[in-house]
């Protein structure tokens, strides 16, 4: 597959942007003069030519106290949903650990983006570079934004957005007999029960960026994932935190067991590496 992905954010498709799964296939250095082309179909059917930009991946979301997932979807804050339709991790109960964390493996990250923060969890503008933020009267610095509110030219506040492509394992109690939600099956031998997985995009900004993306990328830069993101899985639960009397849920990630060589081969087959 090509390594360009069509990302969908709350039902709104973003412009095509690259994702860099690990390990990435080798490619010749671009000259800057290339023109994007797609070969003509050899027949009416082109199911063997489906590329990443043809795919709308489901989103992995932590439900907050504001936003459509709670207000319209009826999900409980602190739970984790897939595609905004299925709860795959229940919300934590006070003083009780979530009984079975999600298990996921990070396949790669798309280039960073910058999302405008608006009150009430509303969608704001989304830019692909810091220079675009500045050109549109925005800032990534909270103190600068806060100070600007008293001036005649208040700035818009943007947050760094990291989006990971992840493979999520089906929870044991999730009913999916036809493998519609979790279509990828891994069974190394007849003696081992099959495991089922789904591809998803996980966008992290604000506290989720700090407690999620930074944790993962730190391990990639100088920890257990130095060779590849595929080296081990993660367990994911959620935790309630507060700031200035505002309550919200953040991801709680823990490194899981090392992924076996055969499982890493399975992961590579999914991303075409």
pLDDT tier, 5 (very low <50, low <70, confident <90, very high otherwise): very low
Where does 22-152 have alpha helices with state H? 68-71, 130-135, 142-148
Task: Give the lowest-confidence range in 120-129, 168-177, 211-220.
Answer: 120-129
> Is residue 112 in a domain?
yes
pLDDT tier, 127 (very low <50, low <70, confident <90, very high otherwise): very high
Dihedral over alpha carbons 82, 66, 95, 206 (to 10 degrees): 80
Look at the chain and report how many structural domains it folds into: 1
pLDDT tens per residue, range 148-166: 998 888 999 999 999 999 9
* Closest to 248 measured CA to CA, from 61, 106, 116: 61
Q: Centre a 10 Å sphere on the Cβ of residue 149 and count the other Cβ atoms it contains.
A: 9
> Is residue 184 in a domain?
yes
Q: Which residues span the domain enclosing 109?
A: 4-10+49-271
Residue 36 pLDDT exceeds 80: no
Residue 14 pLDDT exceeds 60: no
pLDDT of 18 reads 41
> Is residue 246 in a domain?
yes
pLDDT tier, 35 (very low <50, low <70, confident <90, very high otherwise): low
């Amino acid at each position: 597959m090509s390594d360009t992905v069509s990302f969908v954010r709350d039902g709104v498709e973003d412009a095509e942007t690259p994702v860099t799964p690990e390990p990435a296939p080798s490619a010749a250095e671009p000259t800057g003069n290339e023109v994007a082309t797609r070969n003509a179909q050899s027949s009416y059917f082109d199911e063997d030519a489906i590329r990443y930009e043809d795919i709308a991946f489901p989103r992995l979301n932590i439900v907050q106290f504001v936003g459509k997932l709670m207000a319209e979807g009826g999900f409980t804050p602190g739970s984790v949903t897939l595609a905004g339709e299925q709860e795959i991790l229940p919300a934590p109960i006070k003083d009780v650990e979530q009984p079975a964390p999600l298990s996921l493996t990070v396949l790669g990250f798309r280039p960073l983006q910058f999302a405008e923060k608006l009150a009430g969890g509303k969608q704001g503008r989304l830019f692909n570079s810091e220079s675009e933020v500045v050109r549109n009267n925005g800032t990534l610095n909270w103190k600068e934004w806060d100070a600007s509110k008293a001036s005649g030219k208040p700035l818009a506040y943007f947050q760094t957005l990291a989006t990971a492509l992840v493979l999520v394992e089906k929870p044991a109690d999730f009913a999916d007999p036809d493998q519609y939600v979790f279509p990828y099956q891994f069974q190394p031998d007849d003696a081992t029960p099959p495991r089922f997985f789904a591809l998803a995009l996980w966008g992290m900004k604000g506290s989720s960026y700090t407690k999620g993306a930074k944790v993962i990328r730190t391990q990639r830069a100088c920890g257990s994932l130095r060779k590849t993101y595929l080296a081990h899985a993660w367990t994911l639960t959620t935790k309630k935190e507060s700031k200035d009397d505002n309550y919200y849920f953040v991801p709680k990630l823990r490194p899981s067991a090392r992924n076996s060589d055969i499982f890493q081969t399975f992961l590579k087959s999914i991303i075409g590496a």
